[in-house]
Every structure is written in structure tokens, then in C-alpha cells.
Amino acid sequence: MESEVVVSAKKLSQLVHEIISCGGSHSSEAQIVSNHLVGANLAGHDSHGVGIIPTYLNNLKKELLIPNTPVTIINDDGAFLQFDGGKGYGQRVAHEAMKKGITRCKEIGLVVMTLKNAHHIGRVGTYGEMAVDENLVSLHFVNVTDHYALVAPHRGSDARFGTNPVCFALPTGKKSEPIILDMATSKVAAGKLRVSNNAGNKLPDGLVIDSEGQPSNDPGIMFSEPKGALLPFGEHKGYGLALIAELMSGVLSGGGTIQPDNIRLDGIINTMTVILIDPARLGSLDWIKNEIDAMVNYATGSPPSDPKLPVLLPGEPERKSRTEREENGIPLDSESWSQILESAESLGVDRSFFAECG
């Protein structure tokens, strides 16, 4: 980063708690949102960290995000649990829905859970981590609605999808080192373009196309008109998975897809379908974990083709980042930082909060 501030996780959490509270949230909601956003920065996903606050505050002003909204259960039918997020903070309503889904899964072994109408739920891996903490396996399919499309289908020249993340989480023999594959189906998450644009960085080849459908390296094409589009990862395979995520979440939840007959108010609404499995119902948990560990050791034991770049487990980059940033602080580019401070000031957050952080 060209120019940055480095803030400790503790100070940043206090600032975010204050901003979200000034936005109208009760302290417990502000705490969940703050933990999630700072947790995303700690995990190295600045795209889903505190830099997104100005967007949230903008959506609050437009009433596309409604503070102090708990999740509502709309269908409770054994293995099927369906929730409505009521445009509340996604971090809160998804957290509440996951807690209920996990409790049910521990009772009956398998749950299909859907959540619709949640404001942006953030880093999906957070919810996979909740499942593996309880020795469950989880599969998450997410779409993005209420927003213009960002990702082009393979062979297309304009955007027709959100960045539609999927997440697959499995426990291992080491509780602190689960497998968390949590990824956008676009080559990069959209927020990473915001971070690059704010930092004035060019993009590597192959991530985006411009409004004419031609390759580009400019993150600005996503922030000016006419807009370009992100590309899916893995060509036809990523496109296929983006479509599946769109349908698994948007259709099964009842929240709808990004197809243009559905209303778009320029907010960020996520729907999520989660399949929770208690592996202990399928065999001995000890054997399952031993076998997972043996396979993980086999895969990650492959000699690296570049000795400086060892084979990693999905979820490991986030753990390494967490360890490093908890110790050394969270770097934020100066443009993102000033945008956060401007938004905070607009809500009347006391300047003393910034002074201690900056």
C-alpha cells in the first residue's frame, strides 16, 4: 500500500462499535457487526472489513438497511428452517439464523436452512467457522440482490451476477485449524476492486472486462459509467458455480435472484442457503477426523514447486493473517481510512475516537 494507517484490532473495534451505535444500533448489535468487520480485516479480507462502513451508512440513510432487526423464523419444519432477515444487519441476522440451525442440527443430524432479505452478511467463512466450532460440516450458497450485477457469465460481455460466494467448512483433528474454503465465484471479490481503486493500484490481467467486454487492468471501470464487469474464476466452471449459488440461495430461500424483473433499489441484500451435517451421525467422529487429518497431511505434504510457497489448507491464509495482524495491527489505505472517518463524523462520532486510532 502506498500510504496507510495501521490500527490495532482493539481500537478499530471500539471505533466501529461507536459508528454502528451512532447509526442507531443497540450495543449488542453494534458488537456483532464490529466483531465481524474487524474479524474480516484480521483474516486479511479488507474487502469485507471496515472499509465497507461508508456503504452501510449510505444504505442506512436510504432505509435499505434497518438497524435493530432480529432474524424472523418463517418456516420451522424439522430439518427445514427458513428465516427472513428483514433488511437487518446481515452479520446479526445470519449469526442468529446460524445459531438456530446449529442447535437443530445437533438434535437431528441434518438441516437445510435458508435466509432471505438480509443486508450484506459479510465474510461467509465466519458462518462456516461457527459450524465447525460445533464439529459440524457446513455448505453455504449465497447470492447478492437489490444491486446491479457485477460479474459476467463465461463468454458474456456484461454483468449478470453478483460475486455469489460459496463456503464449505469441515472440522479437523485440530479444533483451531478447520478447513474453511470460502470464496467469491468471481476471480476476486468486488470489495477488493474498491480497495485497489482507493489505493490507486492497477489490477493484474484477466480479472475484469470494460464496458465493451474487452480486457482491462483498471479497477475504476467498476466505479464509473458505463460499468465494466468482473470475470468468474475458472472460466465455465466458476460461471457454473455462480449460477448454482444464485439458484440454491435465491430460489430455495424465496428471496429471489438478480434477474431484472426483481426489484433493485441499489442496496446489498444477500440470501443464503446452508446445509448443515453432523458427521457423527454418519460414522465415528474420531475416525472421520483422523481420516481428514491424514488426507490433509497428504495434500499439504506435496513438495512445493517454489520452496517459498508451501502448499496450504483452505482457511490457512486467514489464520496466518489473523496471527500477524493481531500482533502488528491492521493496515488500512489512507483513502479507505478517510472515507470511514468522514462517514463517522457525519454521524457525530466524537473526534477523540479517531485521534486514538490514527
144: contact with ligand NAD by CB under 6 A: yes
Q: Which of residues 116-135 bind ligand NAD (CB under 6 A)?
A: 120-125
Instruction: Give yes or no for a contact between 49 and 325, defined as CB atoms under 8 angstroms apart.
Output: no
Contact code string over 158-177 relative to ligand NAD, x by CB under 6 A: -----x-x------------
Smallest distance from ligand NAD to CB 217, Å: 18
Select from 42, 113, 136, 183 the one that contacts ligand NAD (CB under 6 A). 183
Binding of ligand NAD by 315 (CB under 6 A)? yes
Is residue 198 within the footprint of ligand NAD (CB under 6 A)? no
Residue 149 makes contact with ligand NAD by CB under 6 A: no
Q: In the complex, what is the shortest distance from the CB of residue 300 to ligand NAD, in angstroms, rounded to a whole number?
A: 9
Asked if 181 interacts with ligand NAD (CB under 6 A), we say yes
265 binds ligand NAD (CB under 6 A): no
- Restricting to residues 20-59, name those near ligand NAD by CB under 6 A: 45, 47-48
CA proximity to 81, closest of 299, 252, 236, 278? 252
The three-state secondary structure class of 90 is: helix
Q: Strand (E) positions, the chain?
A: 4-7, 72-77, 80-84, 110-119, 137-145, 166-170, 179-183, 208-209, 215-216, 229-230, 269-277, 330-333
Could you tell me which residues come within 8 angstroms of residue 354 by beta carbon, excluding any fewer than 6 positions away? 15, 341, 344
Q: Is 104 in the site for ligand NAD (CB under 6 A)?
A: no
Listed in sequence order, the residues at least 6 apart from 149 whose beta carbon sits closer than 8 Å to its beta carbon are 158, 159, 160, 161, 162, 229, 258
CA atoms within 13 A on the CB side of 27: 1
CA-to-CA separations, 83 to 87, 115, 141, 228, 333, in angstroms, rounded: 12, 5, 15, 34, 37
Instruction: Tell me, by CB under 6 A, how many residues bind ligand NAD.
Output: 27
Using the minimum distance from each CB to ligand NAD, give the nearer residue, 124 or 159: 124
Contact set with ligand NAD (CB under 6 A): 45, 47-48, 120-125, 142, 144, 163, 165, 180-184, 188-189, 192, 270, 312, 314-315, 317-318
